[in-house]
A and B are shown apart, each in its own frame.
Chain A
Amino acid sequence: MKRRYMQLDVFAGHPGDGNPLAVVLDAEGLDDTTMQAIARWTRLPETTFVFPATSPDASYGLRIFSPRREVPFAGHPSVGTAHAVLEAGIAPPRNGLLVQQGIAGLLPLRVEGDGATRTIAVRTPTARVMEVASAGDPRLQDALRGLPLGLLPPALMDGGRRWWLVELANESSLRAASPDWNAISRLAHDTDSMGVCVFARSDDPVYYLAVRAWVGAPAHFEDAASGAANATLAAWLASRDALPGDTGFYRVSQGREVGHDAIIELLVDDDGEVWSGGRACTVVHGDIDW
């Protein structure tokens, strides 16, 4: 059976700059095993599957799979799936909002503008501070060796997936850093986390923060653009009253060190909710026959 299929670049205004995503529309009838097999076969960081919503409050249902397992929530798949749903005309926004129904529950997405400059942001699940570490914490020593630390102490945040968030003193050190994959993997394993997300403040006119996200074993992977990790970072900064800018809105640059050039938009609203989003572009569209 043929289903509509799209391959997108998310958090990008230009194909190749962002984080790739595969979207299978019309996914009714696909079982878990088949979805996992497709997600392994696409070889992309995530593949999503779009179903009719079962809740009257939702615009559509979705399931998110990495090549290895199902993921309860992830940022770039949520933003990209909303883009695909709009492009395919599956569900229109109501009052500028779409509502996705996933394993993490109902989450609203804000749609602004249209065409090539349209941006979509997802309200991310509330992130919690699990632990604030000291700069000299022995568990972090190896993974952070040689990196000049910034003002905030390292923190372990849980926003569905857990990340260590570590401020570096300046953007140039962040861009020049080479991750010690073995140390990051040990830290991720010992603290039940994805790995380390480092950030630094920037003077760039477009973005206020530069971010790099290093995923431990078995992936040993630097993420091109991390919607959810950036949302936990925004929550961490908000909790310390350390958000960049003065409106609650700021942009992040991520992915240059791995051949991409993503821009992620973060908004911490008046209720303290964190929205993570940006642009997306359609690279492949057609049918999948599996």
Chain B
Amino acid sequence: MSLQRSARRYLQLDVFAERPGGGNPLGVVFDAVGLDTVSMQAFAAWTNLSETIFLLPPTTDAADYRVRIFTPRQELPFAGHPSVGAAWAAVEGGLVSAREGALVQECAAGLLPVRVDGGAGDMRVHVRAPRAREITKAALLHEAALRTALAKLPPGRQPPALWNNGPAWWVVELADGAAVRAMQPDLAAIAALTQASSAVGLAVYGRTDASDHQLVVRAYCPADNIPEDPVTGSVNACIAAQLAQAGTLPGRDGRYVASQGRELGRDGKVHVRVDADGEVWIGGQVQCVIDGRVDWPAQPGSVR
């Protein structure tokens, strides 16, 4: 096979996955120095993955590596599953090694602490999520739309609330995990609610006594043309913030595992940790599905 000299290392990962296909895919381009923003955006559009990231040397001594995160349409300042995948790739690819399990990621939103636990084959990466805050009175303001969106669903202990940790999510506890799995979402009503409240979507969760997870989560973004999102870092961070505030975190020592995506044929596992300072950490396992090289021009194509 002919290999051109401009080829860079490329991985396609499955994040929050215990087996290939279970999680959320991510494209990772190494050694991205020399690719301009237009080329990065063009490649992220071409992969058609929810996110493609580019690894770069840090611009500050305080960081171990730098990442730029692109959806097929735009660059993002921060996102959960791309950050987990970035840290995993930076360690596995030998770019960095963690000092006592700690790394610092530089991204457009700033410097982000990362934890790396376990060894080869069983490495788990956690990133600290931006602090979430509750938008108080939102539930009162949107009471009628909420009631319509949640009609006939068995309620849980926490009242529905709007939380923001970058994106804003409606967070709704249901009676238990089985109620979450059985939910038939009224997507039109959810779209109406989220549009009226400038939320990206609505998430439901319920407790379960399954052997390998303590929470069942589903997330819907019908107004963004994503009826249901398979595995969502920011949603899980908002839910953890609500549970921590209420003092009712599942699991033990502030750690639990959430299951998301089974209803879409995935099987994502999000490892959540709330530390002594109340910071929420989101992580999980990463599967390396594709390992190779990418040959993408540093200059964009003739038309774009």
| Interface set of A (CB-CB < 8 Å, partner B) | 5, 9, 14-17, 20, 37-38, 40-41, 43-44, 87-89, 256, 259-261, 281-290
Contacting residues, chain A, for B303 (C-beta < 8 A): 17, 256, 259-261
Judging by beta carbons under 8 Å apart, are B294 and A284 in contact? yes
Which single member of A38, A44, A287 contacts B48 (CB below 8 Å)? A44
Q: Mark B275-304, 1 if CB is under 8 A from A, else 0.
A: 000000000000011111111110011111
Which single member of A15, A43, A286 contacts B297 (CB below 8 Å)? A15
CB distance from B225 to the nearest CB of A (A): 9
Q: A285–B45 Cα gap in the complex (Å)? A: 18
CB distance from B91 to the nearest CB of A (A): 18
B198 interfacial contact with A, CB 8 Å: no
Judging by beta carbons under 8 Å apart, are B302 and A261 in contact? yes
Check A41/B21 contact, CB under 8 A, given A9-B46, A17-B302, A261-B301: yes
Q: A284–B21 Cα gap in the complex (Å)? A: 19
Judging by beta carbons under 8 Å apart, are B293 and A16 in contact? no
Q: A5–B294 Cα gap in the complex (Å)? A: 12
Q: A20–B291 Cα gap in the complex (Å)? A: 18
B106 interfacial contact with A, CB 8 Å: no
Judging by beta carbons under 8 Å apart, are B10 and A284 in contact? yes
Number of B positions contacting A (CB below 8 A): 31
Judging by beta carbons under 8 Å apart, are A290 and B289 in contact? yes
Q: A290–B42 Cα gap in the complex (Å)? A: 27
Query: Which 8 residue pairs spanning A and B have beta carbons closest together?
Result: A286-B292, A261-B303, A43-B48, A16-B301, A290-B20, A284-B294, A37-B21, A286-B291
Q: A284–B290 Cα gap in the complex (Å)? A: 9
Contacting residues, chain B, for A43 (C-beta < 8 A): 25, 47-49
Judging by beta carbons under 8 Å apart, are B46 and A286 in contact? no
Judging by beta carbons under 8 Å apart, are B294 and A283 in contact? yes
Q: A20–B297 Cα gap in the complex (Å)? A: 15
Judging by beta carbons under 8 Å apart, are B21 and A283 in contact? no
| Interface set of B (CB-CB < 8 Å, partner A) | 1-3, 10, 14, 20-21, 25, 42-43, 45-49, 265, 288-297, 300-304
A interface: dominant SS: mixed
Judging by beta carbons under 8 Å apart, are A15 and B21 in contact? no
Judging by beta carbons under 8 Å apart, are B14 and A41 in contact? yes
CB distance from A11 to the nearest CB of B (A): 13
Judging by beta carbons under 8 Å apart, are B301 and A17 in contact? yes
Which single member of B3, B20, B293 contacts A41 (CB below 8 Å)? B20
CB distance from B253 to the nearest CB of A (A): 34
Nearest A residue (CB) for B25: A41
Contacting residues, chain A, for B10 (C-beta < 8 A): 284, 286
Q: A20–B296 Cα gap in the complex (Å)? A: 13
Contacting residues, chain A, for B300 (C-beta < 8 A): 16
Which single member of B46, B289, B290, B292 contacts A16 (CB below 8 Å)? B46
CB distance from B264 to the nearest CB of A (A): 10
Which single member of A14, A20, A41, A88 contacts B301 (CB below 8 Å)? A14
Judging by beta carbons under 8 Å apart, are B21 and A5 in contact? no
Which single member of A15, A256, A290 contacts B295 (CB below 8 Å)? A15
CB distance from A113 to the nearest CB of B (A): 15
Known: A15-B295, A41-B289, A89-B1. 15 other contacts (CB 8 A): A5-B292, A14-B301, A14-B302, A15-B296, A16-B42, A16-B304, A20-B47, A41-B21, A41-B25, A88-B1, A256-B303, A261-B301, A261-B303, A284-B295, A287-B292
